[in-house]
Amino acid sequence: MSMNNQTRTDQSHSGKHQSAALRAGVAAPDFTLKSTPDQTVTLTDFRGRPVVLVFYPADWSPVCGDQLALYNELMPEFSEFMAQVIGISVDGIWCHLAFSKDRKFHTPLLADFEPKGAVARLYGVYDEKNGEAERALFVIDSEGVIRWSYVSPVGINPGADGILKALASMAERNQRIDISESKAAQSAEES
């Protein structure tokens, strides 16, 4: 899918630069990144369930640590929607492993390390000036389509309200579709 102005969104960040983050309705670009020195994670492996991609600037920074700790605490809520949360930054895998172990995170942290920021670039959230990912969130549905995205100013923890609202909206939509399909099947049987 080509990325043009219709499939990207511009959001101001502290008036310093514009983000070109992919927006809702766009197919989420697939990727494979390392989660450990000998294991990789591929986005399409999660087809059939929602995924929350959490791009963040750097391990060990105060805001990033607080943001990921919040999502770690909210794992039961994310689990209600069968959602997989995945953190992504340009830090190397060894840095991620130390950070995750120290903070007791229960979600994979993926290394968008080499080529540096390649996946962040695919999603339109790589900050060329600082050489790191922007603080960006993407909620992807079970079919691989972005249903919600948000780019937060780098120094502000975006919290989880937007993510949880997007997941709830997707669940309601799926329930309506299931009811419609059930009624259609029932009508077909009666005919």
- Residue-wise pLDDT tens digits, 138-181: 999 999 999 999 999 999 999 999 999 999 999 998 777 656 56
| C-alpha–C-alpha distance, residues 166 and 146, integer Å | 10
Assign 190 a pLDDT band (cuts: 50, 70, 90): low
CB 96 within 8 A of CB 103: no
pLDDT at 150: 97
Provide the annotated active-site residues: 64
Lowest pLDDT segment from 10-14, 154-158, 184-188? 10-14
Q: CA-to-CA distance for 36 and 44, rounded, in angstroms?
A: 18
**Order of strands, sheet of 51-55, starting from the edge strand that comes earlier in the sequence:** 39-42, 32-36, 109-111, 84-89, 51-55, 135-140, 146-152
Choice between 8 and 114, residue whose per-residue pLDDT is larger: 114
Closest CA to 51 of 143, 155, 176: 143
The predicted model gives 16-44 an average pLDDT of: 91
The model's pTM: 0.84
